[in-house]
Amino acid sequence: MSGVHPGSVVDLHTHSLCSDGRDAPGDVVRAAAAAGVDVMALTDHDVVAGWAEADRAGREHGVCVVPGIEVSCSWRGISVHLLAYLPDPTDVALLGELEASRSSRETRLRRMVDLIAADGYPVSYEEVLELAGEGATLGRPHVADVLVRNGVFAVRDEAFARVLASDGPYYVSHYAPDPVRATELVVAAGGVAVIAHPFAGARGRVVDDAVVERMADAGLAGLEVDHRDHGPGEREHAGRLSGRLGLLRTGSSDYHGSGKPNRLGENTTAPEVLDRILAAGSGSALLGAPPRPR
Ligand code: AMP
Ligand code: ZN
Ligand code: FE
Ligand code: FE
| pLDDT score at 1 | 47
Ligand 4 centre distance from Cα of residue 294 (Å): 30
Chain mean pLDDT for the chain: 96
Whether residue 240 has pLDDT greater than 90: yes
Ligand 2 centre distance from Cα of residue 180 (Å): 21
Beta strands in the chain (DSSP E): 10-11, 39-45, 64-75, 78-85, 192-196, 222-226, 248-251, 287-288
| pLDDT score at 146 | 98
Ligand 1, residues at Cβ distance < 6 Å: 20, 139-141, 156-157, 160, 203
Q: Is the entire prediction scored with pTM above 0.95?
A: yes
| pLDDT score at 293 | 65
Ligand 1 atom closest to residue 203's alpha carbon, by position in its atom list: 16
The predicted-structure confidence for 46-103, as pLDDT tens digits, reads as follows 999 999 999 999 999 999 999 999 999 999 999 999 999 999 999 999 999 999 999 9
> What is the pLDDT averaged over residues 115-124?
98
Ligand 1 atom closest to residue 81's alpha carbon, by position in its atom list: 10
Please choose from 14, 18, 19, 20 the residue to mutate so as to test ligand 1's pocket, defined by most ligand atoms within 8 A of CB.
20
Ligand 1 atom closest to residue 15's alpha carbon, by position in its atom list: 12
Whether residue 264 has pLDDT greater than 90: yes
- Do 44 and 15 touch, CB atoms closer than 8 A? yes
